[in-house]
Structure 1
Amino acid sequence: MLAIFLKTLPFFLLIGTGWLAVRLRILPTEAAGWLTKFVFYFALSAMLFRFSSQLDLAQLFDPRFVAAYLSGSILIWTLGMVVAYRRGLALDEMAIEAQCCMIGNTGFLGVPMLLVLLGEPAVGPVLLVLSMDTIIFSSLITLVIGIGRQGRFRLSVIGPALRGVAANPMVVSMLAGLAWGWFNLPMPEALDEYLSILGAAATPGALFAIGASLTGIQLRRTGPALWLSFAKLFLHPLAVGIAALFIFRVEPFSAGVMIAAAALPVAGNVYILAQYFNVGVQRVSSAILISTAVSIVTIPVVIHWITQG
């Protein structure tokens, strides 16, 4: 267990370094946003394209894996909606809290960390989780908030959801990489080296950006934030774990990667959505801070459990 903790510690130290750099004013607060854009549009996209181009699409898609993750995640998403409804929140607030309960930081934290800790066999499962989060659930929250704002379902709410998916560089890079591999296109050595060098910046850049972005968060409305953090770090991996291992009988290693991805803290893109729609900003930012801090302890436990079979 100690060995796993020491392996995960450098990733969180990088997050801490980003936080300290902005806190000590070595870098300005705006640096977090620009670094995030660099990672999002360039470094992480290069990494995802390179990994995706080496995957066999037929082997990547596992219906049982998809069914297990979706069923467990939808259960927690629905639970988040119900809890918010019982507290008398509006539909858009219910949706943003439900999103907090099951959207983990797969892109910026999960891809770099899980691939290093669990090896190349984890690439396919991690990309499947990332695809479902960015395509299905990002579209879902946009639709629900649109319905809440307009009072009923209209075709006009579909456009923003589709545009959001189409403009997401992670989705575009993964699909482009899969298409490259599907058509068995040659990868020139110079292009492969370029993608490798640029993609290598994704891990330190993403983790540093996470830490830098946390400096602007102040803990307020900790009651809802604690509930959202608990749902994300404990209930979500529990739900997908039960679905994967006992209902859909997913292959054990892939199920473990799925559970590890579900155990990641609340994703920063939920905060971006909260800001964009101006809903639940404070509770979302607090949930990101709390869940990220607690995951320093919880993620090594999950990784230890996976590596022990």
Structure 2
Amino acid sequence: MLCMSVQACNSDDPGETPIPPATPIAEDQAAHDLAVQICAGLFDCDCSDASYYDDEAACVEARSAEIQLELDVYLDEGWQWNDECAGELLWTWRNWACLGPDSARSAANFDTRRCPLFHGTLDKGEFCYFTGYGDPCAPGLSCYDEYCIDAPQLPIPTGSSCGNGWEQLPCEAGSYCKYEYLDGSNTCTPYPKAGDGCDPGSGTLCGPSSLDLICDPETAKCVGAPGEGESCELGICAPGYYCDGGLDFTCQPRQDIGQGCGADVVCPVDASCINNECVLDPPLACELVGW
């Protein structure tokens, strides 16, 4: 199944080869091209599942056939293939390289809601459910809250509603879909900055967790998450630190790979505490073997 959910940033390191821009992938080439990238990740990143294949070429042959069978299910039902979105998916995978799950999704993240690989044949008003491969509604329509409706223009502009039933829609750059606790609405809201006002009663974070801002309950303003040795009664610390309840709820440096631990939170990002030792998580590319 797809690991879905595009934003991306190519490396600025002059020593690294930049990832070429996304290019469309035709329907008859898709299975092969996707298999090539999946298998390259398996072998380049030393994934354990690489052992199931004699070599990378054998992997490509097997996965191409399997992926084609999956795509044919939709094609045989008359669903329309989206060359552009397929190209973006492949570009996303290439940007993941051998990064751990969190780092990979920060480098590039694909959203089938914004860019479905397929569009189906259902008419407006028909019951539907969104799949990992695409939208079952006909082109020009989208499946939201289990019914085909006129497709909204994505991303949603700042200040507009970004909720549709139980779903949140992607907002334009510089804003996020904020849930309002008082009335249950969702609105595209600009990312907050340190010093902006906030409502302590609506949660501890100021905006998405990636901003590393918390809502100070005393000043009702957004402030940077606490650093080493600072109080973390809200349970949140700046990047590179964790909240240690055993040290009077203060922020302490995370352990390095190979060092001792008692919980995952003590270890670096993209690492877990296994047998009391911080161990790197498998690269996200390793999960693509099941696509």
TM above 0.5, one fold?
no
Q: 1 or 2, which has the higher strand percentage?
A: 2
TM-score by length of 2: 0.24
Q: Which has the higher contact order (CA 8 A, sep 6+)?
A: 1
TM-score by length of 1: 0.23
Name the one with the larger helix percent: 1
